[in-house]
Copies of this chain bind each other. A is one copy, B any other.
């Protein structure tokens, strides 16, 4: 039998490997491969043999009781949450389309190597798939790297695209604050060689439009530039090799005090106190075009060509933002760093400055000073080098984009819906086909077929003889506005009793006119 032979073979192969493994004392770690004489391929083979054997033994199906939960950091969406989510997506998609974007989709997993070396310290948060033989795969960590891979693979040099999809991070979930391990990103990116800062400004315009339209309370969009950060580090005396790690310290300024950041820089990362203090001066600066102009005059900053280039672009960016009429919410903030490795120019991040729910009543006051950040809802920047990392010849495609993270937005919208006691409909049913008497199932099915075929959203209860009361209750619960009631008399008269659920008004409508009447009465819905 084939099965037995396979097991025998697996046993023999295992024995061989074990003999090899034993025949050598485990040598120095770095030359393990050659010392032991075992290859990765051999180990893979062993594993697949063992897996086969395991499958023959019945696999993992041993324990019987089931834990009834979703994976850590993930959640289901119930119909009400889906209705709210749908509205958020509609708003965002409408904005992306208004700005002329196409859309693409990429697989939920990529080759592991596609994601490697793109996220710096955050790489440890990537979900890997199990090696079941074949390629090594990882769940996408964001939509930007797959986008860059897509551009390189298809040799696309300019496109304006949006992509709304889930991404995966093995982070510490904080679900009450909208931080999940599976979450949506809504990305808008512009790829192509264009004149400076025009696409960058449009990305900020888009964030502005979306956050305003979602009506989540006041917000700020912080802007900075990687080149300004790097230039600043250079002129403050940060050694080159410490740029990234000092940058990731600065990135924590929205969560930690400057004192703690300074301690981390000096004590943990070995930065000189002097350098730390100079950085401290700069990262406290916030402003607009004027700040960029002032820093262009700054003796120390001017020593860095990079910083100057960044500041000049920030100045230009603000002039476009003025034309786009969004400068009231945009702040040039030298403390903004952003963790991801791949940014090369402008970076930005949008934060809600008050809880969305409470904000409505305070709208009149000038809230800018007393604003408290309740967290980032969008971020992005320019990444001119990423596509080149995928192109066999290193050809670069300049890109800038923004990612809207909407889990927090959902949380706020859900709260809002609850507070306002708004009745969120989860279906769009226009009419329920009901009967007041028994034995009318066939008539109900006949009528609902007519309505479906005419494109009316309609339901019947799946009972032969449902009670009229339970049919009406169903409508009240789900917000169905109309009930078409069939009875012996109505059938004889060739009419249907149309009941308006809200007002309980009832009118007899001729069967011939029913579809038009339903359409007329629900055309707003």
On A, residues with C-beta under 8 Å from B are 1, 3-4, 7-8, 11, 14-15, 17-18, 21-22, 26, 29, 32-33, 38-40, 43-44, 46-47, 50-51, 53-63, 66-72, 74-79, 82, 85, 97-114, 116-117, 123-124, 127-132, 134-137, 139, 149-150, 152-154, 159, 161, 166, 168, 170, 182, 190, 192, 194-195, 198-199, 202, 205, 209, 320, 323-325, 389-390, 392, 426-429, 441-442, 445-446, 449, 452-453, 455-460, 462-464
Contacts and interface: CB of A to CB of B under 8 A. Distances in A.
A194 B463 contact: yes
A134 B60 CA distance: 11
Contacts of A129: 127-130, 139
A241 to B, nearest CB: 15
B60 A153 contact: no
B44 A54 contact: yes
Most buried by B among A33, A56, A452: A452
Given A132-B127, A194-B462, A324 B149 contact: no
A11 B11 CA distance: 14
Contacts of A116: 59-61
A15 B14 CA distance: 8
Given A18-B14, A129-B127, A390 B66 contact: yes
A44 B99 CA distance: 50
Given A77-B104, A110-B71, A43 B32 contact: no
A441 B323 CA distance: 10
B43 A56 contact: no
Contacts of A459: 99-100
B32 A57 contact: yes
Contacts of A76: 104-107, 150, 153-154
Interface residues of A, dominant DSSP: mixed
6 contacts: A29-B56, A40-B60, A60-B113, A61-B117, A70-B106, A74-B109
A134 B69 CA distance: 14
Contacts of A71: 107, 109-111, 135, 137
Nearest to A200: B462
B40 A79 contact: no
A89 to B, nearest CB: 11
A446 B109 contact: no
A102 B426 contact: yes
B33 A58 contact: yes
Given A66-B390, A77-B106, A323-B446, 13 more contacts: A14-B17, A38-B53, A43-B53, A44-B60, A61-B117, A71-B107, A75-B107, A77-B105, A85-B105, A103-B426, A127-B130, A130-B130, A323-B449
Contacts of A14: 14, 17-18, 21
Contacts of A464: 195, 198
Given A22-B15, A137-B71, A390-B66, A100 B427 contact: yes
A166 B59 contact: no
Contacts of A70: 106-107, 110-111, 153
Contacts of A323: 442, 445-446, 449
A168 B107 CA distance: 11
A60 B133 CA distance: 11
A431 to B, nearest CB: 10
A395 to B, nearest CB: 12
Per CB-CB distance, the 7 closest pairs between chain A and chain B, nearest first, are A194-B462, A79-B102, A74-B107, A100-B459, A128-B130, A77-B105, A323-B445
Nearest to A11: B21
Contacts of A108: 108, 139, 166, 168, 182
Contacts of A192: 462
A93 to B, nearest CB: 10
A186 B26 CA distance: 53
A397 to B, nearest CB: 14
Contacts of A29: 1, 3-4, 56
A504 to B, nearest CB: 22
B324 A445 contact: yes
A10 B44 CA distance: 15
Contacts of A1: 29
B38 A57 contact: yes
A23 B15 CA distance: 13
A74 B146 CA distance: 13
Given A57-B32, A68-B153, A103 B132 contact: no
A51 B168 CA distance: 20
A104 B14 CA distance: 47
Given A71-B111, A100-B459, A132-B170, A40 B62 contact: yes
